[in-house]
Structure 1
Amino acid sequence: MFYKLFSFQDSRFIFDLFLENKISSFYLPVVSNNFTNKYIETGSFESKNSSKNIHIVKDVPSYLNFSLQKLNSNIKFRKVQQYKGYLVNINGFKDVTTFINDNLNKRNRKNLISKKNKLYKNHKISSKFFFGEISKDNYQSLFKAFYRLLKVRFNEKRTYNRYLSNWDTIQEVTYQKILEKEASLHVIFDNHNPIGITLNFHKGDIVFSHIQTYDINYSKYNMGDISMLHHIEWLITNKIAVFDLSMGKTYYKEKWCNHEYNFIYHIFYKKNTILSRVKMQIIVQELKLLQFLRDKNIIGKLFMFDKLLYTYKNRLVK
């Protein structure tokens, strides 16, 4: 992407909000969920009057409502729509059975029940959400298994996973968030062996699914579907309205998600600087081109950057 050759600041709205409880100070530190109109108070960071001429706030989800701060009269911004996001709107559902009957077709329901029954018949399966309480030893043991399962899974897919290279940091900061109910770890066990793990972050009546993986030896049971079944049951019980699966179009997300939303890029620039205005226009046009290529399945299907990066990094190691 050529615009990355420019000097600018950037931030990622959805990850800053759910992982850090902060958003850029271009916005008022209050966000609401459009499905329930419930408000989320958050902190803010960065300065509206940055020394950089351009600031890009990436990945602003369209289902959240918020307001801009009163900006310097010299600061303007443009919106550019990018990729789709996917979420499960659980608001109003009384139980998991009602949700499944309303949102999965007959074939998918039959397949889900069959896979679940076979899994539970052939293995000693249990499931637990660690939310508000977990011992440090158990946490470290589960994160060790989490890393191993994630690495094996993405090696099987021959796809680069950016979280693996930053795993120590993720493990370090997540423990306290689980204790403070800002995050949860969902684990499916066979006996005492973890075979499916999901890391979620919690904000108000929204749960953001951040990292999910499973033991590839259990692939025939469609472990993603089994995990989703447990999640929806737990989320309804705990009065959660939205389970956000974020970006990345997959068959799994299209099957389970009953709402698609848009990710928007906000480009803040200094209007009285010619160079800033020129850069802004270049960035806008390049982002529109990238989205056009996604819409035509050229990026994301014909060219998959994470697969290319996986191949490149493995060649470097060799």
Structure 2
Amino acid sequence: MNKTLSSCRLFKEKWKLHYAKATKLYNYNSIDGISFTKGKLLPVYSSIGGSLLMTSNNYTIKANSQWPLKNKLFIVYNIPNYNNTLKNLEPKAKYKIKRIREYKAYMADFSEYENINDYFTKQVGRKKIGNIKRRQKKLESCFNISYKLFYKTTINKKEYLDLMNAFKALLIEKFKLRKEFYSITDNYFWNFYTDTILPMVSNGEASLYVVYNDKKPISFYLCYHIESLSIGVIPVFDVNYYKFGLGSITIMNLFESLTAKGFNKFDFYKGEYGYKKDWCNKTYNYEYHLIYKPSILTSGLSCFIAAKFKLKQFLRQKGVNNFYYSAVFKLKNRKLPEIKHYKITPVLPSEVSNLILEAYIISVESLNSELKKEVYNHLYINNLHLDLISVFQVKKEQFIIKNNSNNSYFKISPSSLEIK
């Protein structure tokens, strides 16, 4: 395994192909583990991938080697401070490192526990895990659920592209509901991931965890792997299964699968989200590192760039980035229809007999997201398998659910409408 993802040959080749075909990559023995690109005008060298490509970096300073740092400033993005990178620095070295705090992040460290179940019980909590397992049992009683970890395996190219298309579609739907712009689903980034993940899954530098309903993917978790550490970078689940707690079910089963493969730490990557706190036992921070030999030029540049990074973090803490992503979403999605809300109410067989004669059966899969969510909530509440119901479309936005096991009926209609 590579000590840092961005130093692996495959990642560097793919990154250069997509973003820097004509750009030279700089590697220095003095800063081992990182490749850099040079700025166009100033002697500023940035670690490849920048801050958007979700790669955790690590490096080693070799103070006794020939230094390339005169009148050069090096920026290393995405340094998790649990790596203790600075422990290798010699106190008399004639260079400086400025550390600027970025995002707070969370880690689940299983290494001091007997097994993953011991971690679940002592850290996550017996009651919470019991609740997740009950929801998992209900999910599996309502649908034909299966789980798969793609790791050190060859995936058929068509199957892989189908998976990535489904992955992207779920991400788009997730952020559409949140009314936020998510840059990773732009083809500028997504094409890079699609091109890179397949060979990385094959060689064990990445994995893709998938939950299926029949053959349809309903939950994904993309992870990178560095030695015994897993870094979970992109999770998503189908929001129509929210009632079942699909996100928690995915994490619980993912942890079981990863520990079975020998991984004993899980880095939740950047960002403060409530669900991360439920699963972690350690916190840390991501940092920017500015490395340079002091001179009038490099000291001035370092002060300016450090001030810029600190301002960005201050604005994040004030929620400006959320405002920005919401504004970009609105600009890109001006014509999106308003989300409609539906309700389900019981109805007597005598009331629907004539309506069903004029209606036709439709596939639940063909329903829009809000309708599908109501149907799945109905399955959850009544502990029904999807195969035991039929859905009839009566009018454009009015539907009947029939429970084929006991011939009971329910109507679905927009909150302001009734079936007449």
Same fold flag (TM > 0.5): yes
1:236 Cα shift? 1.8
1:178 paired to 2:163: no
CA spacing shift, 1:51–1:149, aligned 2, 3 Å:
farther
Q: Please state whether the residue corresponding to 1:188 is helix, strand or coil.
A: strand
1:299 Cα shift? 3.0
CA spacing shift, 1:255–1:167, aligned 2, 3 Å:
same
1:54 alignment counterpart? 73
Within 5 Å, which residues of 2 pair with 1:1-318?
16=6, 20=11, 25=28, 27-29=31-33, 49=68, 53-66=72-85, 75-105=95-125, 107-133=127-153, 134-165=155-186, 166-273=189-296, 275-292=297-314, 297-299=317-319, 303-314=322-333
Give unpaired runs (5+ residues) of structure 1. 1-12, 31-39
Q: How many residue pairs align between the two structures?
A: 288
Structure having the higher Rg: 2
Q: Please state whether the residue corresponding to 2:333 is helix, strand or coil.
A: helix
Distance in 2 (CA, whole Å) between partners of 1:17 and 1:213 is 27
One-letter amino acid of the counterpart of residue 121, structure 1: S
Distance in 1 (CA, whole Å) between partners of 2:333 and 2:70 is 39
1:245 Cα shift? 1.0
Give unpaired runs (5+ residues) of structure 2. 14-25, 35-56, 337-420
Q: Is the 8 A contact 2:6 2:12 kept in 1?
A: yes
1:95 Cα shift? 3.4
1:65 Cα shift? 3.7
1:229 Cα shift? 0.7
| CA distances 1:100-136 after superposition (whole Å, capped 9, x unpaired) | 1111245533432332222112111110001122222
Distance in 2 (CA, whole Å) between partners of 1:185 and 1:116 is 20
CA RMSD of aligned residues (A): 3.5
One-letter amino acid of the counterpart of residue 16, structure 1: S
CA spacing shift, 1:146–1:290, aligned 2, 3 Å:
closer
Distance in 2 (CA, whole Å) between partners of 1:219 and 1:17 is 38
1:8 alignment counterpart? none
Greater RCO (CA < 8 Å, at least 6 residues apart): 1
| CA distances 1:16-40 after superposition (whole Å, capped 9, x unpaired) | 358838997453339xxxxxxxxx9
Q: Is the 8 A contact 1:74 1:272 kept in 2?
A: no
Distance in 2 (CA, whole Å) between partners of 1:174 and 1:209 is 13
Among all aligned residue pairs of Structure 1 and Structure 2, give the percentage whose two residues are the same amino acid: 24
Distance in 1 (CA, whole Å) between partners of 2:27 and 2:257 is 32
What TM-score do the two structures reach when normalised by structure 1? 0.77
One-letter amino acid of the counterpart of residue 116, structure 1: Q
